[in-house]
Amino acid sequence: MSTDTATPKVVLQIDNLESYYGPIMAIRGVSLKVYEGQIVTVLGANGAGKTTLLKTISGVMDPEKGTVKMNGEEIQSLEPDAIVRRGIVHVPEGREIFPLMTVAENIAMGAYTRKDRSTIQADEEMVYSYFPILKDRRSQRAGTLSGGQQQMLAIGRGLMSHPKLMLLDEPSLGLSPLLTQEIFEIIVRLNQEQKVTMMLVEQNAKVALDAADYGYVMELGRIVMNDKAEVLAASKDIQEFYLGVSQDENQRGQRRWKQRKTWR
């Protein structure tokens, strides 16, 4: 995305972050920056530490070392509700909704940290305009929605806190390719129309790189590669290991059976 200002503002800056799951070091010194208005994606396989990274940012997990700065202020030791109040919302993996509450109540819960009723109502309308299906189902229990609708609800509910930065954890998880496409189109629209900066964690590298401006690749708790999304999409390693594009066959018509990543 092209921004008008010459030097866009850094919304989120992470330096040398280390987080543990009990004795296991899940994040081993991650540093990254998210600029205002961008969609940044973090790619990586299962267990690379992507979800842990998001949980550490949103305050559900406390880091052992390192800093998380939101607009220059350190937030790594704050409680999760204080971080939501500062404008970071986490849309968790696997659409963690409130199953026994109605769709409308779920959406209202997203605005828990806000008080001003009139703007909350306007935002409710905004959420329904992006996800019309939720408006039809507003008085239905959220647990009875389909998977894709629950994902929409989770994103819509996240929007209700009026976030400056939205952390999206695997929005494509368990969705059909068509639904994934639809969800990502909405994510891009939200980024452009509502000016929500997005940090997107994905295993589905293809859709994530199509939507994103900038990308980081995580492996075993470290960032191993980072660049503009187009550059990453064109890189051989990413194509081979994340996009599943097969490399050229050699002269004997066989694929190389062992490939070495450039960062190892």
Partner 1 sequence: MDFLQLIVSGLANGCVYGLIALGFVLIYKATEAVNFAQGDFMMLGAFVCIGFTNHEYLGLNFWLAVPLSILVMGVFGYLFNWGILRHMFGQSQTSIVILTIAMGFIIRFFAGSIWSHEPTSLETPYAGQDIRAGGVVLGVDEVMIVVVTAVLTLLFYLFFSRSRTGLAMQAASQNQLAAYYMGIPVKRIHSLVWGLSGMVAAVAGILFASKGAIDPSTGLLGIKAFAAAAIGGFGSLPGALLGGLIIGLVEPLASRYGPPGISQIAPYAILLLVLIFRPGGIFSQTQRKKV
Residue 116 interacts with partner 1 (CB under 8 A): yes or no: no
Which of 68, 84, 196, 198 touches partner 1 by CB under 8 A?
Answer: 84
Count of residues near partner 1 by CB under 8 A: 36
Residue 67 interacts with partner 1 (CB under 8 A): yes or no: no
CA–chain centroid gap for 186, Å, is 13
φ/ψ region of 136 (left if φ > 0, alpha if ψ in -120 to 50, else beta) reads alpha
Residue 89 interacts with partner 1 (CB under 8 A): yes or no: yes
Query: Based on CB atoms, which residue is closest to partner 1, 99 or 263?
Result: 99
Which of 113, 140, 203, 239 touches partner 1 by CB under 8 A?
Answer: 113
Query: Based on CB atoms, which residue is closest to partner 1, 56 or 150?
Result: 150
CA dihedral 74, 79, 84, 85 (to 10 degrees): -80
Beta-bridge partner residues of 165:
88, 197
Angle subtended by helix axes 147-159 and 177-193, to nearest 10: 10
Contacts of 105 by beta carbon, 8 Å cutoff, 6+ apart: 98, 142
Task: In angstroms, give the least distance from the CB of 145 to partner 1.
Answer: 8
Residue 97 interacts with partner 1 (CB under 8 A): yes or no: yes
Task: Look at residues 123, 90, 94, 91 and name the one whose alpha carbon lies nearest to residue 108.
Answer: 123
Residue 193 interacts with partner 1 (CB under 8 A): yes or no: no
Binding site for partner 1 (CB under 8 A): 58-60, 79-81, 83-85, 89-92, 94-101, 105, 108-110, 112-113, 143, 145-147, 150, 157-158, 161, 174
